[in-house]
Structures are given as C-alpha cells and as structure tokens.
Amino acid sequence: MTQRAQTVLLTGATGYIGSRLNEHLLSRTGTTLRVFVRNRRKLRDSIREQVEVAEGDTFDLKALSQALQGVDTAYYLIHSMRAGKDYEDRDRRSAENFRDACIQAGVKRLVYLGGLGVKATASRHLLSRIETGEILSARPKQLQTIWFRAGVIIGSGSASFEIIRNLVQKLPLVITPKWVGTLTQPIAVDDVVSYLSQALDAEIQDSVMVDIGSRAMSFREMLLKAARLMGLKRVLIPVPLLSPRLSSYWLTLFTPVPYQMAAALIEGLKSETIVQNNQAQTCFPQISPVSYEQAVQTALIELENDAVLSRWCDSSGGQVCDIKDQADTTAAVLRDRREFPLDSLSRETVFQSLTSLGGESGWFAYNILWQLRGVIDKLLGGYGLNRGRRENKALRLGDALDFWKVVDIKPQKRLLLLAQMKVPGKAWLEFDLQEDTLVQTAHFHPRGLLGRLYWYAVLPLHLFVFGGLGRKILKQAAALERQGLASHPPIGD
Ligand SMILES: NC(=O)c1ccc[n+]([C@@H]2O[C@H](COP(=O)([O-])OP(=O)(O)OC[C@H]3O[C@@H](n4cnc5c(N)ncnc54)[C@H](OP(=O)(O)O)[C@@H]3O)[C@@H](O)[C@H]2O)c1
C-alpha cells in the first residue's frame, strides 16, 4: 500500500487509543499531522514539537471548523462514557458536530473506532457507540466513513487487560459469574493501531464497516490463559447467580476500574461481541491480528520495562479536560502546610524522590493509613489506590497516580496532585521545592458543612500521614544520593 501525502486530523490524541495512534502516525512520511485536543499541555513535549495542535472540543463549532481546514482524513476517537448521566446525548451531539464540520471543510475520509456488537443485545454504552457510528456515517455521498469495530482491546494500560491482570494477580480463587462465559474477539492494541493507521491509504471507494478481532474466546478463557502466561495457577469457581451489580462491586474492589466503568463493562460482556463481517480481510489483507496470548505477552513485557505508552485513565472521562484550570489552588480555604529543610540535598534528588511516590512504592510513611483511605474510596465507588502509576520512575502531566491526577509538574520545582478520590470537596496535594526547603501543602475546598466536618475529622491522621510524608521523601532522596542514582529523568516523555 503506497503512503499518500495528506493532512490528517486526530481527535482523542490524549486518550488510550489516540495517543498510541499519534505516536505511530509520526513515523509516516509525507503526513501533516494535526491533533485536536481539549488541552495542549496534556500532550507530551516531544509530540507537541512534531504536530500541529488545534485546541478545542467538539462542542465548540468554531474551533472544530478551524481545526478541519485543509484536512484530508479525520479520526474520531472520542467518547463521553464517563461524562455523566446524559453521555449518550453528548455523544450524539458531538458526532453530529464533527460529521457536519468535516463535510463543510471538505474532508474526504472519516475514520472511527467503535465497539463490536449488535443493536438487539447491545449494552447502553455499546448502543451509544453504535449510534455514534451511524451518525458519523449518515452522509455517505458527502463524506466517506471507515467505521472500525473492536471488542476487548488487550494492551498495557487498557481497561480490559488491567482487569484481567489484577483479578489473576490478586485472587488465587476467582469466582466467575455467568457473563465470563460470553464469547468475544479480543484484539491487541498494536493491531488496532495498525488498522487505524492503514485506513489512511486503503483503496476503499465507499463507506465501510470493518469488524476486527482475533480468535473468539470467553472471558473465562482469557483469565486462564493470562494466568498461565504470568506463571500463576488459578482456580475459577463458577457462581452463576452472581448478579451484575454484585459482579460490578467485585470488579471495583479488586481491579483499578471504578464502579461505573465496571458496571458498563459487565453489561457489555452479557452479550456476545463477535465479528459480523469479513471486511478486515477484504480491505486490509496485509494485517493478521496476533493471538490473545501474544497480545498479553507484549503487554506484560511493556509493563515490566516501564514502557506503558497510555492508560485507560489518561483521558478525563468528564465533560471538560481534567487538568484544565486545575493548577490554581487559591480556591482552597483549609490547608495543612509543612516545611522540610533540604539540608544539603539537591533539588534534583528530592524531586526525583517525590515523583516516585505512589503505585508499588506506596506513600512512604504510614502506608497502612493510605491503604485504608484507598479501601474506603473503593467502597464509595472511587478509584482507591488500585490505579497505581503508568511507570515507576517518571511522571507526566495528566498521569493518574493512585487516586490522584497530576495537574501540574515543573521539573525541580513543583508537583501538584488533584484528588480524584471520593471526598466532600476539592483537594490538592502540592510539593513546592524552594531554594532550601520542601514545602508540602494539602489544600482543601470543602463542600458545605460535610466538607468541613470531614476535614476536621481526618485532621489527627494528617499529623502522621503528612508529617511523615515530607520526612520520608527527604530520607529517600538522601538514600538516592548515597547510591548515586540521582540521574533518572523525573519527567516522563
Ligand atoms: N479502549 C478500549 O478498550 C476500546 C475498545 C473498543 C473500542 N474503543 C473505542 O475507541 C475509541 C477511543 O477510545 P479510548 O479508550 O481511547 O478513549 P479514552 O482513553 O477515554 O479517550 C477519550 C479521548 O477523547 C477526548 N475527548 C472526550 N470528549 C471530547 C470532546 N468533546 N472533544 C474533544 N475531545 C474529547 C479525551 O480528551 P481528554 O484527555 O481531554 O479527556 C480523550 O483524548 C472510542 O470510540 C471507543 O469506543 C475503545
């Protein structure tokens, strides 16, 4: 397939699939790549330098129209699943806006990735994905659409893989509800990216729906195969009567996904998601999807090598970008501020130490209290500590870090975390590296009386948790200096 020179607009470039496709498209020659993002700061520096950036969202018609000028092919990799109760309506309007703006701008081809499944048995989320595809492809004479449909996507950081990995790792005995027997056709994230990128040059005349996937298998089979690949022996105990609601709580507790997402995934797994056409072989015969086992192995290797490019929790999942206007803590009215003298420690090492917080390293001091807070958060339907971190050493803007989100990071100067835990108010944790002091501040903007009661109730715990945290960060920095390890880059790229 010859690569045609063209201008490409990529939406969803800060999301799980979009950021991987972005990386891939950069290696194409003759392609002018423009990304349409809600906040340019969420793009990595190295990406920002190589692409044209158009800022806006799909509800901003002017921004959309500007971003689509001169574009040949546009990717639509957006959804609003976690943006509240009216997400179907948002997705409908978003797709209509995008399609109409593409037609107006003279875009030749629109590429969309939705989910596998049929309308009659589709879950609410899947129905919305199908509806989005129908809206995008509703004007075939004016705009050609290549509509890919994928089932479970397996890759480091994908929600499905994280669920499988966590269940297998944490539970020697896995109780399996009825839905684990449903058939789906998993596909490796790299194969998804190949299909999407090769859609740029595919010799296709009309609009087409392309179902993609590897061999059909059940979720049960996926669990057992993953366990074997991880060198673990696991016993599955069928409990057919476990209701979807109980299953969702069960997934929420043992995996990183929050309740709402677990419920949507389970709802989706209640009916088969099987390839319905052979357009993948007809239009893309050069791509042979790798097996599920190969996909799991690649994901495990990426995890082991700290080479996870994107995660399911990178995107905001909200109505607005999650890092936009979040770096200003002046709205807080309650604070816990502590100063820790650096003594002779360098700011580089202290920054390195504090950016290695969370995930498998834990929270350095009184970990048990952090874990307890994580469990409470999980029980309330939040993320808990299970999200961990994308990689062990480096952090980048927009990274999820247990129940926090990195909303500002300035090398050797500042790390600001926004709480995404269930809390009656808005909370930040800030580390400010001054000339010879580490200033650590917990900021809180309480919501009503409950918020204030919460703050004062946990105040005694802050004494231990926050007092110990700063001290331990410096202690670990001293250890790093002793070991001469202060050269790792604390900012990921
Ligand atoms: N991931 C999977 O396992 C999977 C499986 C099958 C199909 N798919 C399909 O693949 C597509 C991409 O999914 P994903 O998992 O990559 O999603 P994701 O990680 O949740 O990312 C969503 C992206 O959309 C952006 N976005 C959301 N609303 C927007 C708006 N109104 N205007 C502009 N940008 C907006 C987000 O930006 P912010 O960073 O600002 O939030 C983010 O970049 C979806 O259509 C999905 O149905 C995914």
Query: Probe ligand 1: pick from 9, 16, 219, 418, max atoms within 8 Å of CB?
Result: 16
Query: Is 90's C-beta closer than 6 angstroms to any atom of ligand 1?
Result: no
Tell me which architecture the domain covering 6-304 has in CATH. 3-Layer(aba) Sandwich (3.40)
CB 234 within 8 A of CB 144: no
pLDDT in tens, 103-123: 999 999 999 999 998 888 888
Q: What is the pLDDT of residues 183-236, one digit of tens each?
A: 999 999 999 999 999 999 999 999 999 999 999 999 999 999 999 999 998 888
Distance 315 CA to ligand 1 centre (A): 7
Look up residue 219 and give its two tokens: 């979720």
Q: How far does residue 379's CA lie from ligand 1's centre (Å)? A: 26
The Cβ-side half-sphere exposure at 20, using a 13 Å CA radius, reads 24
Averaged pLDDT of the chain? 91
Higher pLDDT, 135 or 307: 135
- The two three-digit tokens of residue 17, written as one number: 């699939």
Q: How many CA within 13 A on the CB side of residue 428?
A: 27
E strand intervals along 299-385: 334-341
At position 210, the amino acid (one-letter code) is V
Cα end-to-end distance, the chain, whole Å: 31
The CA–CA distances, whole Å, from 43 to 66, 71, 183, 199, 314 equal 20, 21, 36, 24, 11
Find out whether 387 and 256 touch, Cβ atoms under 8 Å: yes
Question: Residue 350's pLDDT is what?
Answer: 96
> What would the pLDDT profile of 10-31 be if each residue is shown by its tens digit?
999 999 999 999 999 999 888 9
DSSP output for 194-207: HHHHHTTT----S-
Predicted confidence (pLDDT) per residue in 42-79, tens digit: 998 889 999 999 999 999 999 999 999 999 999 999 99
The number of the ligand 1 atom at minimal distance from the alpha carbon of 82 is 20
How far does the centroid of ligand 1 lie from the alpha carbon of residue 12, in Å? 5
Give, for ligand 1, the residue of 128, 261, 315, 418 to mutate: max count of ligand atoms closer than 8 Å to Cβ: 315
Given phi > 0 = left and psi -120 to 50 = alpha, else beta, which region is 103? alpha
**Beta strands at 73-76 and 52-55: parallel, antiparallel or unpaired:** unpaired
Question: How many Cβ atoms sit within 10 Å of the Cβ of residue 400?
Answer: 22
Q: Express as a percent the part of the chain with pLDDT over 70.
A: 97
Q: How large is the average pLDDT for residues 157-184?
A: 87
Q: What is the pLDDT of residues 443-458, one digit of tens each?
A: 999 999 999 999 999 9
Q: How far is the CA of 173 from the centre of ligand 1 (A)?
A: 33
How far apart CA 219 and CA 231 sit, in angstroms, is 18
Distance between Cα 135 and ligand 1 center (Å): 17
Give me the pLDDT at residue 109, please: 98
The Cα 109–Cα 106 span in angstroms is 9
User: Does the structure show a pLDDT above 70 at 487?
Assistant: no
Domains of the chain, by residue range, sit at 6-304, 334-483
Q: What's residue 252's pLDDT?
A: 84
pLDDT for 489 beyond 70? no
d(CA 212, CA 284): 10
The whole-number average pLDDT for the span 408-415 is 94
Which tokens go with 118?
Answer: 């049929």
Token pair for residue 198? Answer: 């090769």
Taking CA atoms, 358 is separated from 193, 292, 465, in Å, by 30, 30, 13
Rounded distance from Cα 316 to ligand 1 centre (Å): 9
pTM: 0.89
* C-beta 143 within 6 A of ligand 1: no
What is the pLDDT confidence band of residue 84, given thresholds at 50, 70 and 90?
A: confident
Q: How far is CA 67 from the centre of its chain?
A: 24
- The verdict on the CB of residue 150 being under 6 Å from ligand 1 is yes
Homologous superfamily, domain 334-483: START domain (3.30.530.20)
pLDDT of residue 485: 61
Would the CB of 186 count as within 6 Å of ligand 1? no
Confidence of residue 256 (pLDDT cuts 50, 70, 90): confident
Of 124-128, 217-221, 388-392, where does the model show the most confidence? 217-221
H or E, element range at 409: strand 404-410
